[in-house]
């Protein structure tokens, strides 16, 4: 075992109440797999992980650990928490190297066929847990590469494409078929499959509805990362609006593309940022400037971006709200010269795609599901970002796993 990993493993005190497990969206049994590592039972440790996740190499690297498992680590109360993510990715990488398979659970779905639309973390997880139970699964992907946001939305400096491919290949080894460059036809899938899972994501950047958003030089962060069709940022001043990991990823990418100055403008405090703390620290190390408790109120220019107008905010407690909310401070407006503005304030589903599905949606345009993860359309299930406001890999994965369990129950009626 690697010396640094061994030190982290020995540092864990294997709490009986398992706060780290309880804080993990996937409920990974962290104390148990670390205990097995202490006993040098490496394959058994990996198998414990596979009970609840099929993306440990990915989650171990990019999950917001400080806000999930590590943030609840007992060791972290008085000192540093156990580096759970590093341990998870270490044992998962070992599994890839040693060619340990994801074990099948049963053959209870033998003879059943399920179409999984999309290949992001929710779809990959759903497909895997169905295949683990004997189902014949086919993944339908609209692009030429699998992975969804893992491939098209997360920069290489944060997630090595080789690791991603190896992780996906391990899932496909369960006997899953793949159709790439697919144009969605739900009516045809309905006729050919016993159930359908929609994990099509929600990667259209949300807008703020402020003056000037239609000017040249205003882009969506999701689209820039996905399409990699960047304008020439060399020597330019760029404002990235938002406080999540998309904002961190796009700001760091733009800085690496030669921008002279990159600002991240966030209306709340640093402590309230949804981005992983390590991503914020690395962004600061890369000389990205953060303007906390600042809100953009307009983008100024004739035909293209020339300036942005911001206003300072104060954090106040509102009735029936557990957290502090930002309120604009009257008279604190100011302007900054700017060449580009990147919106990273959230995302929504593709309206055209959603409207073609014939399923009910909520006020945000996301797909409605019932308590069994089924849409308003019989035998059509959905999960991941297209139904959820919690846009992290772990939450997408648990959504896919829960949907797989619902599909299993549905197909066994």
Structurally, what CATH architecture does the domain formed by 206-346 represent? Answer: 3-Layer(bba) Sandwich (3.50)
The angle, 0 to 180 degrees and rounded to 10, between the axes of the packed helices 42-50 and 30-38 is 170
- Domain positions in the chain are 3-98, 113-202+349-411, 206-346
Give the global pTM: 0.93
Say how far apart CA 211 and CA 297 lie, in whole Å: 8
Is the fold of 113-202+349-411 the same as that of 206-346? yes
Give me the pLDDT at residue 66, please: 87
Tell me phi and psi for residue 354, to 5 degrees: -60, -45
Q: 113-202+349-411 has which CATH code?
A: 3.50.50.60
State the pLDDT at residue 322. 73
| CATH 1.10.1060.10, applies to 3-98 | yes
| Distance, CA of 180 to CA of 118 (rounded, Å) | 10
CA max distance for the chain: 68
Say what the pLDDT of residue 349 is.
87
Task: Give me the pLDDT at residue 58, please.
Answer: 96
Backbone angles phi, psi at 188, to 5 degrees: -70, -45
User: Are 338 and 307 within 8 A, CB to CB?
Assistant: yes
How many residues would you count in the chain? Answer: 413
| pLDDT value at residue 16 | 86
3-state DSSP of the chain: CCHHHHHHHHHCCCCCCCHHHHHCCCCCCHHHHHHHHHCCCHHHHHHHHHCCCCCHHHHHHHCCHHHCCHHHCHHHHCCCCCCHHHHHHHHHHHHHHHCCCCCCCCCCCCCCEEEEECCCHHHHHHHHHHHCCCCEEEEECCCCCCCCHHHHCCCCCCCCHHHHHHHHHHHHCCCCEEECCCCCCHHHHHHHCCEEEECCCCCEECCCCCCCCCCECEEEHHHHHHHCCCCCCCCCEEEEECCCHHHHHHHHHHHHCCCCEEEEEECCCHHHCCCCHHHHHHHHHCCCEEEECEEEEEEECCCECCEEEEEEEEEEECCCCCCEEEEECCCCCEEEECCEEEECCCEECCHHHHHCCCCCECCCCCECCCCCCECCCCCEEECHHHCCCCCCHHHHHHHHHHHHHHHHHHHCC
pLDDT along the chain (413 residues), means of 10: 92 92 94 95 96 96 90 92 96 96 95 97 98 98 96 94 97 98 96 97 92 97 94 98 95 97 97 89 96 97 97 89 88 98 92 93 91 96 88 90 97 94
In the block, residue with structure tokens 């403008």: 265
> Using CB atoms within 10 A of its CB, is residue 291 exposed (0-12), middle (13-18) or buried (19+)?
middle
């Amino acid at each position: 075992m690697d010396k640094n990993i061994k030190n982290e493993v020995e540092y864990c005190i294997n709490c009986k109440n398992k706060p780290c497990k309880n804080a993990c969206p996937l409920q990974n049994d962290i104390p148990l797999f670390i205990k097995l590592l202490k006993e040098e039972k490496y394959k058994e440790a990996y198998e414990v992980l596979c009970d609840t996740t099929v993306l440990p190499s990915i989650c171990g690297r990019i999950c917001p650990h400080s806000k999930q498992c590590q943030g609840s680590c007992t060791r972290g109360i008085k000192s540093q928490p156990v580096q759970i993510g590093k341990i998870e990715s270490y044992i998962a990488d070992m599994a890839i190297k040693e060619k340990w398979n994801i074990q099948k659970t049963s053959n209870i779905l033998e003879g059943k066929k399920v179409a999984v639309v999309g290949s992001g973390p929710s779809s990959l997880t759903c497909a895997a847990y169905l295949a683990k139970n004997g189902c014949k699964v086919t993944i339908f992907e609209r692009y030429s590469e699998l992975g969804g946001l893992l491939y098209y939305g997360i920069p290489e400096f944060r997630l090595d494409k080789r690791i991603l491919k190896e992780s996906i290949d391990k899932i496909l080894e369960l006997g899953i078929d793949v159709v790439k460059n697919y144009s969605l036809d739900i009516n045809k899938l309905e006729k050919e499959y016993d159930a359908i899972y929609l994990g099509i994501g929600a990667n259209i950047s949300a807008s703020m509805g402020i003056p000037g958003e239609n000017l040249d030089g205003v882009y969506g962060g999701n689209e820039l990362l996905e399409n990699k069709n960047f304008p020439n940022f060399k020597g330019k001043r760029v404002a990235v609006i938002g406080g999540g990991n998309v904002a961190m990823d796009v700001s760091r990418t733009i800085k690496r593309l030669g921008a002279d100055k990159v600002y991240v403008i966030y209306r709340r405090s640093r402590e309230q940022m949804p981005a992983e703390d390590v991503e914020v620290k690395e962004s600061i190390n890369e000389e990205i400037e953060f303007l906390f408790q600042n809100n953009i109120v307009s983008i100024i220019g004739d035909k293209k971006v020339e300036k942005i107008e911001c206003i300072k905010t104060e954090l106040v407690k509102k009735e029936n709200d557990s957290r502090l909310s930002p309120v604009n401070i009257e008279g604190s407006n100011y302007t900054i010269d700017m060449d580009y503005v990147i919106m990273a304030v959230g995302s929504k589903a593709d309206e055209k795609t959603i409207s073609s599905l014939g399923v009910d949606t909520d006020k945000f345009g996301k797909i409605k599901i019932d308590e069994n993860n089924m849409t308003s359309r019989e035998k059509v299930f959905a999960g991941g970002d297209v139904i959820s406001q919690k846009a992290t890999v772990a939450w997408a994965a648990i959504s896919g796993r829960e949907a797989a369990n619902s599909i299993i129950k549905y197909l066994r009626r």
